[in-house]
Chains A and B, each alone.
Chain A
């Protein structure tokens, strides 16, 4: 067992090389959070550029800004990138940054796997995006329905299937990690019903990941086997059935959107309470609603398939089940409203986003209920009405939450504060642009405009509304640019803010001294109730925490380069699989890649890694900064 003398937990001035190596080998949830945020943010910008290209092409009828085939690639990559490579990873970033601190833990249950999950997401995303340069991106939509994707020439779909397989495995690992962390590693006194909503929603979303990703894995394997190894899952001339893909995809796909929205709900629960100086109204109902939404989320997948011809009984059952989800969701909206009611509302940037979320998400949710009415959905499905709906719930729900959390948790993650002024400018540009772009799309759908069309004929009554929709996109772009400027200025200024910068923090993550020591808690805290930090503050406890144990040695995990290498092996192997049959080097490359992965797995298993200990004497000297 190695012993490490900790001189100071405040970061020493390290060289660039040392910092790079630190991040390449880190297993610390706080650093992994930063990695997720940065990588997810990069993919968000890429997805945003793809969105701008779409709206430029559709700004006027019969446009030829991009060709038909290229347009299909752009819409596919826009959707796939935004959902898998931007929204989910950024949410994982926040979960990593916040949840261990909220439950009083020193890290997640499996720090090594945490790092592995990140690298798998990143390499999967890189692999998928390399398709742009290697013969064309996938072009069958993010849903990649079987008959079209089997027929798609070139390797685009193969990049999609293999890239998502790797990325998805990373997500799956992260899901298990959070489940075990939350179940096993809560601080003493933190019963399930004292967990903050951010932790609860992470918990339920992780359970959804556990059960929703396997069907996607299977579907992607079927797609890979059909395209590359001559299988016949989807080939109807050989007895196969393309509807199987649809079922597998949506059994994954519907829980997926709840995986996206539940953490967003968690973030907003934290924000509404903090910035109203009031506890969350109806905590137990809110927890119940989250669990119920998660459960019902598995029962409704065929509402994406109302027009497939499953028959009236199937359609009727799924219609009613889908409507049911509106009940717990609506319950949450009312509980949030009653949280701010009677409170002391401070409209900071995070609160501004939360306030913008309420009307936006409600609008998206009600169109969802409309679509649940199956015969009405026969009109709405695959039209711009659906595009409007899902952008309202995803942008109005998930993206607003992501931007809100960026401001809320920036001081927690970086000991700095993003500019409130620039933050509010970003909000207004983004919010106005978002509504301009997507509200009008409801009407385009009702007026007969199908989705995934690279152009539209003039004089069908669609010209003006499409122009307005494209115009709105400019505002959103400006908002994002201001945000980037905000981030750069803040990082350069590097003004320290200390802990509890929002002053009304209620939960444990705000109690920790800033900058956060790498071991999180010197002594494991004792949780005395819901909103435990608030309780301590109200009682005049300057420290903000009561402790459950005396100072003692802390056991920490070692850094490791193995997760990076393991994932790199899979990345290499994926190229071999992709070019199998076409290039001579394909099989050797496949074998080489798998060998790299298996060897690094063997090294990990065979070489014992027991971590190291920090001695309590060193902890006593150690000062975390307090404001």
Chain B
């Protein structure tokens, strides 16, 4: 689909200027093929997963092609000059003609770059306005329900909270969104500046502390086919020591599955099954519940990440492997794994002691059992 658009664009340009712009779109074609081989499809900007990312990728191709043209011209002049006019070739005692300049040439290499930049500027301005258009965020249907999915993203040190205000649910670290439509985001930071970035889906937007930023992204396909079953999200603004570890994940479902998920998040009641899990639940309710909610129904403002459906998630603490061993290590020593993060060390909340192996097993059993999918 997009290859044809690109080719068409290149063809239009060739018609437009009457210059040798066939070079432009063959460059475009070559570039697309070369570039799309790079990187992982769940993470790379070169394999866009939605229209916003695709628009931006098109700008990449267009600007690369134009710039490649410039580079080729420069390189040709450069190489020919070096080959033809070396002193060994010209002669040791020759004083070359002292040329003042050329008015014609100055005009040419001013005018042509201006034209090339105009070619780039037009789609740039177009996309700038297109990607900022969040007017449809407030659309409602006949019953007054919002038609679009809006997520309130709050960036914290060092985790991400995702609230769905129109659906009455809140979760953390793993963003779940429907495919095939624009998903809107309200972005804010709770402490220091962060930046919300899902590279395959599209560009980033900063989360500021003093205002709410808004943008949208689209997701074409379900993430189930990907390597980890998720798209990767990154924090893209230095926020402290663990900035590199502030990953989040994105799960995309078709609209119906998304609706089911949202319903499950709102209504499912978790009951711990089995002695170990029940024991874990008890420990949790003593030590952890002050900061971590386990119910998906709710709104923003949790001190720590909401752990609803924790068992379904892709990672522990956003970046560690999602298994019991990592979970236990994390609970017992958060500072070692995410320096500077705000989860208290167990000594602070467990009477000055780390959790015992048994307690950790119980907690892990309980937490891994929190699920809406199982």
> CB distance B191 to A147 under 8 Å?
yes
> CB distance B210 to A279 under 8 Å?
no
Residue of B64, B77, B236 touching A337 (CB-CB under 8 A): B77
Interface string of B91-117 (1 = CB under 8 A from A): 100111111111001100110011001
Known A327-B114, A370-B67, A379-B202; contact A242-B244, beta-carbon cutoff 8 A: no
Interface of B is mostly: mixed
Known A333-B74, A342-B99, A448-B44; contact A316-B129, beta-carbon cutoff 8 A: yes
Q: B132's closest neighbor in chain A, by CB?
A: A312
A541 at the interface (CB under 8 A from B): no
Question: Which of A259-267, A318-326, A593-601, A603-611 touches B?
Answer: A318-326
Near A by CB (< 8 A), chain B positions 255-271 give: none
User: In the complex, A326→B244 CA distance in Å?
Assistant: 34
> CB distance B67 to A366 under 8 Å?
yes
> CB distance B243 to A453 under 8 Å?
yes
Residue of A72, A282, A369, A443 touching B120 (CB-CB under 8 A): A369
B contact set with A: CB distance below 8 Å? 35, 38-40, 43-46, 53, 55-56, 59-60, 63-64, 67, 70-71, 74-75, 77-78, 80-82, 85-87, 90-91, 94-102, 105-106, 109-110, 113-114, 117, 120-121, 123-125, 127-129, 131-132, 187, 189, 191-193, 195, 197, 199-200, 202-206, 208-211, 213-214, 232, 234-245, 247, 319, 339-340
User: In the complex, A311→B327 CA distance in Å?
Assistant: 41
Interface string of A342-374 (1 = CB under 8 A from B): 111111000000010011001100110110111
> CB distance A331 to B124 under 8 Å?
no
A589 at the interface (CB under 8 A from B): no
- What are 29 A-B pairs at a CB distance below 8 A? A68-B242, A69-B241, A147-B192, A242-B210, A279-B98, A285-B101, A316-B125, A323-B117, A326-B117, A327-B114, A327-B117, A341-B80, A343-B96, A344-B85, A344-B90, A367-B67, A376-B63, A378-B56, A379-B204, A381-B203, A382-B204, A448-B43, A448-B199, A450-B235, A450-B243, A452-B243, A454-B244, A456-B244, A461-B39
User: In the complex, A248→B31 CA distance in Å?
Assistant: 38
Near B by CB (< 8 A), chain A positions 262-283 give: 276-279, 281-283
Across-interface contacts of B210 in A (CB, < 8 A) = 236, 240-243
Among B38, B91, B98, the one with the most A-chain Cβ atoms within 10 Å of its Cβ is: B98
Q: A385's closest neighbor in chain B, by CB?
A: B45
A8 at the interface (CB under 8 A from B): no
Across-interface contacts of A376 in B (CB, < 8 A) = 56, 59-60, 63, 124, 203
A447 at the interface (CB under 8 A from B): yes
Known A68-B244, A148-B192, A285-B101; contact A446-B78, beta-carbon cutoff 8 A: no
User: In the complex, A346→B191 CA distance in Å?
Assistant: 59
- The 4 A-B pairs with the shortest beta carbon distances in the complex, nearest first, are A378-B203, A447-B39, A453-B244, A448-B199
7 extra interchain contacts, Cβ-Cβ under 8 A, other than A148-B240, A320-B121? Answer: A147-B209, A331-B113, A338-B102, A341-B80, A375-B131, A377-B203, A447-B46
> CB distance A373 to B238 under 8 Å?
no
> CB distance A285 to B106 under 8 Å?
yes
User: In the complex, A323→B90 CA distance in Å?
Assistant: 39
> How many Å from the CB of A136 to the closest CB on chain B?
12
Across-interface contacts of B242 in A (CB, < 8 A) = 68
> CB distance A326 to B199 under 8 Å?
no
> CB distance A448 to B340 under 8 Å?
no
> How many Å from the CB of B366 to the closest CB on chain A?
27
> CB distance B85 to A312 under 8 Å?
no
Residue of A145, A358, A367, A375 touching B128 (CB-CB under 8 A): A375
User: In the complex, A319→B187 CA distance in Å?
Assistant: 23
User: In the complex, A461→B196 CA distance in Å?
Assistant: 21
> CB distance B199 to A379 under 8 Å?
yes
Interface string of A446-467 (1 = CB under 8 A from B): 1110111111110011000000
Across-interface contacts of B132 in A (CB, < 8 A) = 311-312, 315
User: In the complex, A383→B53 CA distance in Å?
Assistant: 15
User: In the complex, A211→B208 CA distance in Å?
Assistant: 29
> CB distance B128 to A315 under 8 Å?
yes
> How many Å from the CB of B268 to the closest CB on chain A?
31
Near B by CB (< 8 A), chain A positions 146-199 give: 146-148, 151
Residue of B75, B100, B193 touching A148 (CB-CB under 8 A): B193
> CB distance A382 to B195 under 8 Å?
yes
Q: B66's closest neighbor in chain A, by CB?
A: A369
> CB distance B85 to A345 under 8 Å?
yes
Across-interface contacts of A140 in B (CB, < 8 A) = 238
Q: A70's closest neighbor in chain B, by CB?
A: B241
> CB distance B74 to A337 under 8 Å?
yes
Near B by CB (< 8 A), chain A positions 372-418 give: 372-379, 381-383
Q: A286's closest neighbor in chain B, by CB?
A: B101
Among B64, B121, B214, the one with the most A-chain Cβ atoms within 10 Å of its Cβ is: B121
Q: B63's closest neighbor in chain A, by CB?
A: A370
User: In the complex, A242→B205 CA distance in Å?
Assistant: 16
Interface of A is mostly: helix
Known A330-B113, A455-B244; contact A379-B45, beta-carbon cutoff 8 A: yes
A141 at the interface (CB under 8 A from B): yes
Q: A148's closest neighbor in chain B, by CB?
A: B192
Residue of A145, A240, A340 touching B193 (CB-CB under 8 A): A145
A307 at the interface (CB under 8 A from B): yes
User: In the complex, A379→B85 CA distance in Å?
Assistant: 43
User: In the complex, A241→B210 CA distance in Å?
Assistant: 7
Q: A151's closest neighbor in chain B, by CB?
A: B192
A488 at the interface (CB under 8 A from B): no
Residue of B67, B82, B245 touching A345 (CB-CB under 8 A): B82
> CB distance B40 to A331 under 8 Å?
no
Known A330-B109, A376-B60, A379-B45; contact A309-B208, beta-carbon cutoff 8 A: yes
A552 at the interface (CB under 8 A from B): no
Across-interface contacts of A374 in B (CB, < 8 A) = 124, 127-128
Known A68-B244, A333-B74, A448-B232; contact A344-B96, beta-carbon cutoff 8 A: yes
User: In the complex, A359→B74 CA distance in Å?
Assistant: 8
> How many Å from the CB of A394 to the closest CB on chain B?
19
User: In the complex, A141→B238 CA distance in Å?
Assistant: 8
Residue of A342, A344, A447 touching B38 (CB-CB under 8 A): A447
User: In the complex, A379→B91 CA distance in Å?
Assistant: 52
Across-interface contacts of A343 in B (CB, < 8 A) = 85, 90, 96
> How many Å from the CB of B30 to the closest CB on chain A?
16
Across-interface contacts of B63 in A (CB, < 8 A) = 369-370, 373, 376
> CB distance B56 to A379 under 8 Å?
yes
> CB distance B120 to A447 under 8 Å?
no
User: In the complex, A455→B337 CA distance in Å?
Assistant: 12
Q: B62's closest neighbor in chain A, by CB?
A: A373
A228 at the interface (CB under 8 A from B): no
> CB distance B106 to A307 under 8 Å?
no
Q: B125's closest neighbor in chain A, by CB?
A: A316
User: In the complex, A453→B319 CA distance in Å?
Assistant: 14
> CB distance A373 to B120 under 8 Å?
yes
User: In the complex, A158→B210 CA distance in Å?
Assistant: 24
Among A342, A359, A379, A381, the one with the most B-chain Cβ atoms within 10 Å of its Cβ is: A379
User: In the complex, A347→B86 CA distance in Å?
Assistant: 8
Q: A375's closest neighbor in chain B, by CB?
A: B127
Across-interface contacts of B234 in A (CB, < 8 A) = 448, 450
User: In the complex, A293→B43 CA distance in Å?
Assistant: 37
A19 at the interface (CB under 8 A from B): no
> How many Å from the CB of A524 to the closest CB on chain B?
26
Across-interface contacts of A71 in B (CB, < 8 A) = 241
A67 at the interface (CB under 8 A from B): yes
A334 at the interface (CB under 8 A from B): yes
Across-interface contacts of B235 in A (CB, < 8 A) = 450
> How many Å from the CB of B124 to the closest CB on chain A?
4
> CB distance B241 to A68 under 8 Å?
yes
> How many Å from the CB of B316 to the closest CB on chain A?
13
Across-interface contacts of A370 in B (CB, < 8 A) = 60, 63-64, 67
Known A446-B45, A452-B238, A461-B43; contact A69-B340, beta-carbon cutoff 8 A: yes
